Structure 1
């Protein structure tokens, strides 16, 4: 009888240990999956201040109403989200409402995250609760003045603009297309930067059913590129493989990443598996042309530009180009892609809005870091070296050169962006 009891206890202990091990394995797998999804959402880029600890918040973000600061989303119980339930986390992520009931500003891309499926929310919650180091760092209040800082109008904003529907696969589309659409529209929240916003700061479209979707937008001193099939300024000349190459490395034969896109490459897309990158590229390449101009399709032409660069250089912009730009980007404008970006036929060069070109010339680029290796030749900042007229001259030369056919840049354009970017630093 005693042996039976002991045997029974031993069996129960073995069963309990086995169940515990299985639960631990399942839990670890959920955390690992959540970590991957957090990379897909690029959560660390927004919720980490320069030189700050991961996910502890404090990154300044400029909005039309004033500056806000991202929040601490580590599992610290007093300053982070350590005492949030999964329901609290879900409500903030997909509805834009914090645990204490206050509404989040739509700078947090919850209109995109609303599309995220329940099982992915569960995995993200597991990761932020068990896979992130807690950091005790209080959140910083926004600089938005009263009465613009009142949150209650956001409840009305949500009623009008928040679509709460989770992404549903589109019939007639294959698995890869739907996976790419889910990532681009949801966790990737690409529309938050690359889709123009309306007067109420709402994205004008949340998926491919709206012509404004991913057709490019001005945001915080940069023009986020057109990601539709537009031939000159979009992805119309990019192959699916070239689109994937850009997301994995930040550069291809057409362009190189700069501005906020550098963070996306560094912290997000390079970490995604090949299947997901291919799916995202396939979806992007399916988007019809939108935005851009009615300019003829780009065709490279060296002749006129070559004459302008003949020593001595023919005009003020050419003189600046030969002194400061030609050693990297070449007399032919082809650069040394993908190491040094081309200027001839570069969609960012040809874009009507020159904000990104002005900004990157003034302030340079942060390092692209691919698999731990920084890019060899980041764009230097020329704000201390060149005055507003010199920058306007050289960008006008570049935008006209090699048959790019883009509008001129004025010294006033440069002065305005110089002032706004210096104020933001």
Structure 2
């Protein structure tokens, strides 16, 4: 009996460390998997992965007012990536914009938003990048910013003025869904990085809903990122919760389709976001009051005048371009075939005063939306080789004034300027 107990004791003595090891390994795996989801929420791949490149190896060009910068390798490669980063080093780079060696990161890295990421999510994100991402020995590329503008030390003063350190704190009087949505939109999702206008120092003019400029739209990298407030024409005022959820999950709804930088957000981030978090994001966004726009009455559809312009033969230059190149997808009524083909009548991007996105998408088309591995069947083609600046200006003016859209005309000079800028950015 004593011998049997000794054998059992020895067996238990061996089994307990093994059981603890298995449990610890499972906990580590769970942390890495959670980090993978957080990396999706943060859309890290969109900036740190080149098209057809290796995940998170960097090298993506980003246009700034001072010149091009290139995103960095954030794989655990010890020579080119973050393989030597401690968790503290990682958190400092993520939330304060300071690399391990002490140099400041350009605020194209959205650390003014990521500073709101809480400690648990930061820990999980670090675990993922260290243990869930393959190391890639790809060297980082120096920026094209000329000296002395390339010096980093002035960024210390930029941070002193514009970086508001501190993780997100739940707002009293708001429910769980609202606070979760605010945390995702303001922090991990860093929506303000594109959708909030920037000041002369490239700072976001507001970092949350307490600032009147927050998410009212802004120009970045030759695109105009749309107004996300409750504004009735250029914002989300006419969108239901379900409209907004559909857009975040699929990149399209009855009002608009994603293009430009938003395509990569849908492809790499929001379609992988769980339904609870999508609902929370919608709750927060739909709570924002109407700001921006031009003060016009809410859009109402009226096709009559446009029908006359589209009579065969079309009676103005823009209408003639539209019938030849646009009508087969977007319809004689301008309503398209949503969500497969975007409507133009009442589309917030069409109604927006700034035509940058319309010009850009007409010139250069857009990348495929890829939802659950299936590319969208009708991507917008590029017309830069087909249409000249005057033709594009004419057709966009026709679209912006058609179907009661009532938006300003587009000039050939605006098209020429953006054509030159987007060609130089390649």
How would you bin the TM-score normalised by the shorter chain?
A: over 0.9
Deviations 1:191-228 (A, max 9, x none): 00000011111100000000110000011110000000
Residue 33 (structure 2) aligns with: 32
| Higher mean displacement: 34-43 or 5-14 | 5-14
Residue 327 (structure 1) aligns with: 328
Residue 371 (structure 2) aligns with: 370
Q: Matches of 1:416 and 1:378 in 2, distance apart? A: 24
Q: Matches of 2:332 and 2:4 in 1, distance apart? A: 90
Deviations 1:343-375 (A, max 9, x none): 000000000000000000000011000000000
What does 1:291-370 align with in structure 2 at a 5 Å threshold?
291-370=292-371
Instruction: State whether structure 2 residue 287 is matched by structure 1 residue 259.
Output: no
Task: Quote the offset at 1:41 in angstroms.
Answer: 0.4
What does 1:111-190 align with in structure 2 at a 5 Å threshold?
111-190=112-191
Per the alignment, in what secondary structure is the counterpart of residue 284 of structure 1?
Answer: helix
Per the alignment, in what secondary structure is the counterpart of residue 21 of structure 2?
Answer: helix
What does 1:215-230 align with in structure 2 at a 5 Å threshold?
215-230=216-231
Residue 95 (structure 2) aligns with: 94
Work out the number of aligned pairs and report it.
425
Q: Matches of 2:398 and 2:168 in 1, distance apart? A: 45
Task: Quote the offset at 1:307 in angstroms.
Answer: 0.6
Residue 51 (structure 1) aligns with: 52
Deviations 1:107-142 (A, max 9, x none): 000000000000000000000001001100011111
Task: Quote the offset at 1:296 in angstroms.
Answer: 1.9
Q: Matches of 1:242 and 1:327 in 2, distance apart? A: 25
What does 1:13-24 align with in structure 2 at a 5 Å threshold?
13-24=14-25
Residue 409 (structure 1) aligns with: 410
Per the alignment, in what secondary structure is the counterpart of residue 186 of structure 1?
Answer: helix
Instruction: State whether structure 2 residue 419 is matched by structure 1 residue 418.
Output: yes
Q: Which blocks of at least 5 consecutive residues in structure 1 are unaligned?
A: none
Q: Matches of 2:20 and 2:379 in 1, distance apart? A: 53
Q: Matches of 1:395 and 1:127 in 2, distance apart? A: 45
Task: Quote the offset at 1:58 in angstroms.
Answer: 0.3
Deviations 1:38-89 (A, max 9, x none): 0000001100112211100000001111100000000111111111110110
TM-score of the two chains, using structure 1 as the length reference: 0.99
Residue 242 (structure 1) aligns with: 243
Q: Which blocks of at least 5 consecutive residues in structure 2 are unaligned?
A: none
Residue 77 (structure 2) aligns with: 76
Instruction: State whether structure 2 residue 228 is matched by structure 1 residue 209.
Output: no
Task: Quote the offset at 1:4 in angstroms.
Answer: 5.7
Q: Matches of 2:141 and 2:9 in 1, distance apart? A: 57
Per the alignment, in what secondary structure is the counterpart of residue 165 of structure 1?
Answer: coil
Q: Matches of 1:6 and 1:162 in 2, distance apart? A: 62
Q: Matches of 1:32 and 1:49 in 2, distance apart? A: 23
Give the alignment's Cα RMSD to 1 decimal: 0.9
Task: Quote the offset at 1:291 in angstroms.
Answer: 1.2
TM-score of the two chains, using structure 2 as the length reference: 0.99
Task: Quote the offset at 1:6 in angstroms.
Answer: 4.7
